[in-house]
A = this chain, B = another copy of it.
């Protein structure tokens, strides 16, 4: 059976790379994946999948940090101009950019695979040696870029869809291919879980390219140690004044913000485990000679456990409030994203290992639980499935990287995509076809 999968994958490799480059060229940030999602949905239909999309699979109450209506509208138009599927895109309107493809084949377990599809607000590198630049598929959307490999994930999802469609008759049960928006900022998974996408799902499988496994040919069969995280938007409001003539009449929001930044980074390390804090954005002030009236900050905290994240959050809140008061400004704190900690199941990791043995060199396979060391809102899906008695695994697929994730020169090796499709497809076959072997 595995041989069949292998052959199927080898045959579609070029197609997968085409998908990937297309997604890469038209990156769309969270909740604006109108083009990406509509084209994925169209392809799933072509392959014979039943599809659900838009509000059916994204609970509007639980979306976090959705762009302004104006922003959504502008991107909707852009997506149409850039070739979004005219018929399906209206279902996504308003930023409901999730898609689920369903393939049923009689009685049997329900297995879900999840692929995240959003890009990042990063301007792609224009250096000549940057591979997408060289090959002409660099982002055409200014200040948006697939700098985390989700273009690859989406392409893999379409590859898996095709392979499993071809192998359909060998399996008994239901396959769910979940294409999730807004993973960056951990803002999308919860809304899909709350739309009951995972009801009765017994297995949830997902993974990431090039994280931890930064070498082509490597595989880490199961990750744990997803960091619990909170995403926090902060506004300091002070009072403007002429900085030369009456500095004492202002209330300086930048002094509050700068004091907050230094002190937030100074929150003591915690002996109970890993913690993180980042002030990823700060925008402040309206003119050189005006005491800055307001400051906008985007912060995230993380912790190896929920408790550790709480420790960071509580300490951060105290710093924010006091940095404000110290300089007579007011602060507003809003939580705009959250993810939990999560664990892969050992039985699933073993299953991955068995398949990996067929593809990878023995010494590049890591069977121990790997510390993910970052946050992923897959944690909501994993915890949802596990709390209903199901199982989960999150796999780290190796790939030679050109630069770190989330940097403007980020690039993985496209040749690694086919192995990911093999692993995913074989996993599903293995679960749904009890008697067979491969």
Interface residue ranges, A against B (CB under 8 Å): 120-123, 143, 184-185, 211-212, 227, 229, 231, 239-250, 252, 254-255, 257-259, 261-263, 265-266, 268-272, 274-276, 278-293, 295, 298-300, 302, 311, 318-319, 321-323, 325-328, 337, 373-375, 404-408
Contact = CB atoms under 8 A, between A and B. Distances in A.
A278 B282 contact: no
A405 B326 contact: no
A175 B278 CA distance: 53
A300 to B, nearest CB: 5
A184 B275 CA distance: 27
A24 B120 CA distance: 40
B285 A284 contact: no
Given A243-B276, A262-B259, A284 B286 contact: no
Nearest to A226: B244
Lowest 3 CB-CB distances: which A-B pairs, in order? A243-B278, A265-B266, A244-B374
Given A255-B266, A328-B318, A245 B285 contact: no
23 contacts: A122-B286, A231-B288, A241-B407, A242-B374, A243-B276, A243-B300, A247-B278, A250-B268, A254-B279, A257-B282, A258-B261, A266-B266, A268-B291, A269-B269, A269-B276, A278-B288, A278-B291, A280-B287, A281-B285, A289-B375, A319-B326, A322-B322, A322-B325
Nearest to A405: B242
A143 B311 CA distance: 32
Given A231-B288, A262-B263, A319-B326, A280 B243 contact: yes
A289 B326 contact: no
B185 A288 contact: yes
A326 B268 CA distance: 12
A290 B280 contact: yes
A211 B266 contact: no
Contacts of A121: 286-287
Nearest to A271: B246
Given A242-B404, A291-B278, A326-B322, A248 B263 contact: no
A301 to B, nearest CB: 10
A16 to B, nearest CB: 25
Contacts of A298: 285, 287-288
Contacts of A212: 245
Interface centre among A283, A311, A337, by most chain B C-beta atoms within 10 angstroms, is A283
A284 B287 contact: no
Contacts of A229: 244
